[in-house]
Structure formats: C-alpha cells, structure tokens
Amino acid sequence: MWAHEGQRIYVYKVKKELLNEIDFEKFRVDEDYLLEHTTNRVLLFDARSRKREDAWLARYCRFPDVMNAASIYIQSIINNKLSEYPLQVKFQMDEDGLLRKALVPTSLLSAMWYQLYLAVIGEIKLRRCAICRKWENMEGHRINWSKHAACANNERVKRSRSKKA
C-alpha cells in the first residue's frame, strides 16, 4: 500500500482466516479496519531514503503501481528463504558423459523454495489439477492438461456408479 503521497510503500500481512471477508476498498480509507485485519506491516522502501537499494526500488516502483512492488516483495521473501534453506552446487554427469552443474536441495524446504523460485522466473510451469487441487509440473504434459489421469479416472468411476444406483 502506498503512503505519504507515493513516497513509501508498505506491505501488510493479512490474517489468513480473514482473507475471504476483507473489504479491500476499506483498507485505503479506514486505518482502524486495516490494523484490525492485518498482523503487521513491512516497509518495502522509502523513496526519500538515501540507501542505495531504495534508490533503485524508487526508479522501478512508481506510484500508484503495486504490481512491481509486490514482485519485489516476493523476490525478497524467496531470496531470504533460499538463504535460510540453501542449495548445493555440484557436478553431475549427464547421459552423454558430460559434466554439468546441478543445484541440489539440502532439505525438503530447500527443494520447495527452489521449485517456487523456478516457477516465479518462468523456468517451470505449474498448474493445479481441477479435481484434487494439487500442483503439477507441466513438463511433458499437453497444453490443455487440466486433471491427473488417476483423478479423471476416479471421477468417471464415481459418475458411472452414481448412474447405476
């Protein structure tokens, strides 16, 4: 949210259980409503700051655009998590016997944050199954993929059984 005539931008963390019932228009005008529905706020940048990174952010994020600011916030979260759950750089031999660089996760959380990083930069494409709502990597799938084969089969069996009953 922009503040101080477009000089600062704050990120407010919304309480998860209240996410579906929030009136986002009230956020802009009613500060009490805003504080009641958020857990805390983070100053993303201040255009008046003399810090080097804030100067770059001020050129990239212009009032009233919030999309670039949101992108920067997501970038900072992922970078912090990748620092907390690091990847190892290793050599691995491919099928042709050539040495290649490989980024190897050190834990499950490391793998998850790395996968989110790859999705955000567009290196992998993810889609949700229309039935089970689990995420699926689209590598090797048709462009019109919408369901896991097992999920689609289970749905067909349920429909067939309900018709017979």
Answer whether residue 19 shows pLDDT above 80.
no
In 3-state terms the chain splits into helix, strand, coil percentages (rounded to 5) of: 45, 25, 30
First to last CA, the chain: 55
For residues 115 and 139, state if they share a domain.
no
- The tens digit of pLDDT for each residue in 109-127 reads 999 999 899 999 988 898 8
Closest alpha carbon to 88 in 99, 72, 104, 71 = 104
For residues 30 and 72, state if they share a domain.
yes
For residues 24 and 59, state if they share a domain.
yes
Buried b / exposed e over 124-136, threshold 16 CB at 10 Å, is eeeeebeeeeeeb
Total domains in the chain come to 3
For residues 92 and 158, state if they share a domain.
no
Check: pTM over 0.75? Answer yes or no. no
For residues 37 and 59, state if they share a domain.
yes
- The tens digit of pLDDT for each residue in 126-164 reads 888 999 988 888 888 888 888 888 999 999 999 899 888
Q: In a 3-state reduction of DSSP, which class is residue 47?
A: coil
For residues 116 and 164, state if they share a domain.
no
For residues 94 and 137, state if they share a domain.
no
> Are 115 and 123 in contact, with CB atoms under 8 Å apart?
no
- The tens digit of pLDDT for each residue in 26-84 reads 777 777 877 777 777 777 777 666 666 666 676 777 676 778 888 888 888 999 999 99
For residues 119 and 130, state if they share a domain.
no
Average pLDDT over residues 17-24: 78
CA-based torsion, 41, 21, 76, 2: positive or negative? negative
The predicted structure's pLDDT at residue 82: 93
For residues 71 and 136, state if they share a domain.
no
Instruction: Print the domain residue range for 15.
Output: 2-83
